[in-house]
């Protein structure tokens, strides 16, 4: 009697073959989605994070006990170093202290790292001169240390702007590895090795702040 008023829904008869076909289509769609993810992962391998514009790497021989530091200054005076790891668009992504407390985590275990490397990333463009200095913070061996400095422009494709090796031979030694100029679009217009001290620049700023 209630059916006469359409208050109850009319269910079609159960069709087992249709249910099986629907489930099969669901499985095929899921496998297709997984395949797409795998293809996308493969395509993305080797791509550079588009947020990074430049990568500056300082490295010295593996397992070396000496501590080498990198100082980088941008065109408007921002500077990154081991006590200020972010300034402007620049980030000191890795501060390597040589043989002192240089560990990495592997499967939850603390393992001593043999790699000696400092890395600064530049994540935006400011037109003007960038200066990259190497500072021999702790000279434990008493011998000259070969330090390799590489500057890479990452966008729109990877381009090596500078690659060279310099020697630092005593604690407190500081050398300008490279100075490069960018235009407003991020293109490198000039590269030179004119020497300047960023450590002295920092000391001067500290004195001025203290005096002020």
pLDDT at 171: 95
Contact 180, 190 (CB under 8 A): yes
- Contact partners, residue 164, CB within 8 Å, separation at least 6: 148, 149, 177, 178
- State yes or no: pLDDT of 204 exceeds 60: yes
171 three-class SS: coil
At residue 36's C-alpha, the angle toward residues 31 and 41, to 5°, is: 125
Instruction: Specify the DSSP element, H or E, that contains 211.
Output: helix 198-211
- State yes or no: pLDDT of 11 exceeds 60: no
How many angstroms from the chain centroid is the CA of residue 100?
Answer: 22
pLDDT at 76: 98
> Cis before residue 156, ω within 30 degrees of 0?
yes
pLDDT at 114: 81
Lowest-pLDDT choice from 8-17, 85-94, 165-174: 8-17
N-to-C CA span, the chain: 95
Residue 16 pLDDT level (bands cut at 50, 70, 90): low
Alpha helix (H) residue ranges in 45-158: none
Percentage with pLDDT > 90 across the chain: 65
pLDDT at 33: 61
Structure token pair of residue 17:
């073959």
User: How confident is the model over 66-125, as pLDDT tens digits?
Assistant: 999 999 999 999 999 999 999 999 999 999 887 556 666 667 776 667 889 999 999 999
The dihedral built from the CA positions of residue 125, 87, 74 and 120, taken in this order, carries a sign that is negative
| DSSP for 146-167, written as a single string | EEEEEEEE-SSS-EEEEEEEEE
At residue 205's C-alpha, the angle toward residues 200 and 209, to 5°, is: 150
- State yes or no: pLDDT of 60 exceeds 70: yes
Task: Tell me the C-alpha distance between 118 and 95, whole Å.
Answer: 5
201 three-class SS: helix
- State yes or no: pLDDT of 10 exceeds 60: no
Contact 55, 154 (CB under 8 A): yes
pLDDT at 107: 75
Residue 167 pLDDT level (bands cut at 50, 70, 90): very high
- State yes or no: pLDDT of 174 exceeds 50: yes
């Amino acid at each position: 009697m209630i059916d006469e008023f359409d208050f109850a829904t009319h269910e079609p008869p159960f069709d087992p073959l249709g249910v099986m076909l629907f489930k099969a289509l669901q499985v095929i769609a899921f496998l297709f989605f997984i395949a797409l993810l795998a293809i996308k992962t493969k395509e993305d391998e080797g791509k550079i994070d588009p947020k990074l514009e430049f990568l500056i790497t300082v490295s010295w021989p593996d397992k070396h006990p000496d501590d080498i530091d990198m100082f980088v200054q941008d065109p408007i005076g921002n500077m990154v170093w081991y006590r200020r790891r972010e300034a402007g668009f620049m980030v000191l992504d890795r501060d390597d202290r040589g043989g002192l407390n240089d560990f990495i985590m592997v499967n939850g275990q603390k393992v001593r790292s043999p790699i000696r490397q400092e890395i600064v990333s530049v994540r935006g463009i400011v037109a003007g001169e960038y200066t990259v200095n190497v500072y021999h913070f702790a000279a434990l061996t008493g011998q000259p240390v070969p330090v390799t400095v590489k500057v890479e422009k990452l966008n729109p494709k990877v381009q090596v702007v500078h690659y060279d090796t310099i020697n630092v031979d005593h604690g407190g030694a500081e050398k300008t590895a490279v100075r490069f100029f960018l235009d407003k679009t991020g293109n490198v217009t000039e590269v030179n090795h004119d020497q300047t001290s960023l450590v002295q620049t920092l000391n001067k700023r500290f004195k001025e702040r203290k005096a002020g």
